[in-house]
Amino acid sequence: MNKYSVITIIAIIVIVTPFVFSVMNIVGSQQLEYRWNSPGIFSFFTMLNHGETEFCNTLPFWVTFEKFEVSVFYMERYLGSYVVQPLTLNPSSSGIQEGVFSSEDFEEAQHIFMNFDFSFDSGEMRMDANKFVVVIQTETPILGIIPYSSTTQISGFEFDEIMNAEDLTCD
């Protein structure tokens, strides 16, 4: 093999490597499992007062995300967001990260969250659970500069079940 072939192969590897890592982060962020740090005791009210979320990387390679955001809506009205900042997870392992909740109308969010916590814990349904929606967005930039996000919309009840999960794949 001549020196030009070696230089070409090295250049290709150097150029392709960042793209491979970016694709691995995109796939990994879509496969993340998560739950409240204390299994089985999640409530929307506790999320309102901040707290920690456990993330599980189910894949055999490192995964990094820049932002994990849970936006909560009731009757299409924005109640607030719980945001977790950057985290890198080792292959097939879990990590815990602090999150912060912010809201423009804290008292309204508090009232609605307490009602749904009561309803989801076998209480009387006082509000329409079909109008309680959670949008989960994970941001993972491509090459560190091109914005990319993965968005999932689920019901508040489904989110409550996910956050109260007893087991993750990494356990």
The pTM is what? 0.84
Mean pLDDT of the chain: 88
128 falls in which pLDDT band (50, 70, 90)?
confident
CB 111, CB 131: distance < 8 Å = no
pLDDT score recorded for residue 127:
80
Question: What is the distance between the terminal CA atoms of the chain, rounded to a whole angstrom?
Answer: 48
The answer to whether 101 and 64 have CB atoms below 8 angstroms apart is: no
CA distance 161 to 33: 12
Helices (H) and strands (E) in the chain, counts: 4, 9
Of 110, 126, 26, the residue nearest 72 (C-alpha):
110
| CA–CA gap between residue 3 and residue 9 (Å, rounded) | 10
Give the model's pLDDT for residue 122: 77
pLDDT band (50, 70, 90) for residue 141: confident
Q: What is the pLDDT of residues 27-82, one digit of tens each?
A: 888 888 899 998 878 989 999 988 899 999 988 988 888 999 999 999 989 999 99
The answer on pLDDT for 123 being more than 90 is: no
Q: Average the pLDDT over 147-160 and give the result.
A: 91
